[in-house]
Structure 1
């Protein structure tokens, strides 16, 4: 079998990183390389042509997930044009049934928290995750409310809503958190 071109190799790497980013958010970083490569539509052997280890892929996929988060909320800022409206749109999107039901396309803070708690602090993914949490908290801060508190409320509500997804309590949790975060003091 012939060698793939440099352009095809770059495309394969992009596809692997995007697939890993989605699968890790949906299923956790314990997803096997074989399952990941199958989901990307590539051979298992091709993985090691692109990455030195699964940890290297976790690092890159985590960075990719946080870049997507930043792009998504920057687009909200640009679309609304007003900080208060952007905050409201961000909260509404984050604490929505759609976000609850689609972790593979959702927030890496919520989806990867358990995995990152088990990662050694010296891994790049852990550093990227920590910086991503800090950046997201900064984005959530208002003149009246601390960003870390707002992030904890949103994250906790999302995790609990996902854990109780098949009950009425799930939507009640999302609604209560949205109300708490948007109530005028």
Structure 2
């Protein structure tokens, strides 16, 4: 069997990353195996180690990919909106929506992986990837809030905590009316209780 070209190998690697990013967001790290990821990518298990050193390496890179995907989505919202306030409203409504709640495999990697990351080594690659994504998310919230540059404000961190916590709790209570109430309350708080100046 002929060896894959460099372009094919990179394409396969990206397919594995995409599959892993979706699966770990939906099921968590311990709920995903390497053979499942490879199968979801349409590849055989044998090719895994050509692309990744270990499952931990894959998960860290999948976390980076999931966070980058959402960062790009937030950047598109910001770029498409006529002003920052419209961008912020659009982003908050999309993030705290039943659609986002019900699609964890395409959703926020920060909310999906926080519990898993909290149980990992503090100096591991996954923690580093997660913290990078967390900081980028907070920085983008700062952009949506027209706050001072060069430092993530405490307000942005509170918004980040409220948004990810509300999403996580709404997923945990999906199917119960409380789930919708959590999303609605968080949206209302973020969109109507905005400090002036």
Q: Distance in 2 between matches of 1:87 and 1:145?
A: 17
Q: Which runs of 4+ in 1 moved over 6 A?
A: none
C-alpha displacement at 1:171, in angstroms?
A: 0.6
Shift, 1:145, TM fit: 7.3
Q: Give RMSD over aligned pairs.
A: 1.5
Distance 1:161 1:85 in 2: 24
Task: Give the structure-2-normalised TM-score.
Answer: 0.89
Deviates more, 1:142-151 or 1:124-133: 142-151
Paired with 2:124 and 2:82, the residues of 1 have a C-alpha distance of 37
Question: Number of residues paired by the alignment?
Answer: 185
Q: Can you give the 5+ residue segments of structure 2 that lack an aligned partner in the other structure?
A: 148-152
Q: Which residue is 2:184 aligned to?
A: 175
Show the counterpart of 1:13: 13
Distance across 1 between alignment mates of 2:118 and 2:3 = 40
**Which residue does the alignment assign to 2:111?**
110
Alpha-carbon distance in 1 for matches of 2:6, 2:141: 41
Secondary structure in 1 matching 2:72: helix
Residue pairs, 1:76-91, within 5 angstroms: 76-91=77-92
Q: TM-score, normalised by structure 1?
A: 0.94
Counterpart for residue 29 of structure 2: 29
Q: In structure 2, what is the Cα distance between the partners aligned to 1:67 and 1:160?
A: 23
Could you say what secondary structure the match of 2:91 adopts?
Answer: helix
Indicate if the aligned counterparts of 1:66 and 1:132 stay in contact, CA closer than 8 A.
Answer: yes
User: What is aligned with 1:119?
Assistant: 120
| Equivalent residue number for residue 3 of structure 1 | 3
Residue 163 of structure 2 corresponds to which residue in structure 1?
154
Could you say what secondary structure the match of 1:59 adopts? helix
Greater mean deviation of Cα atoms: 170-179 or 122-131: 122-131
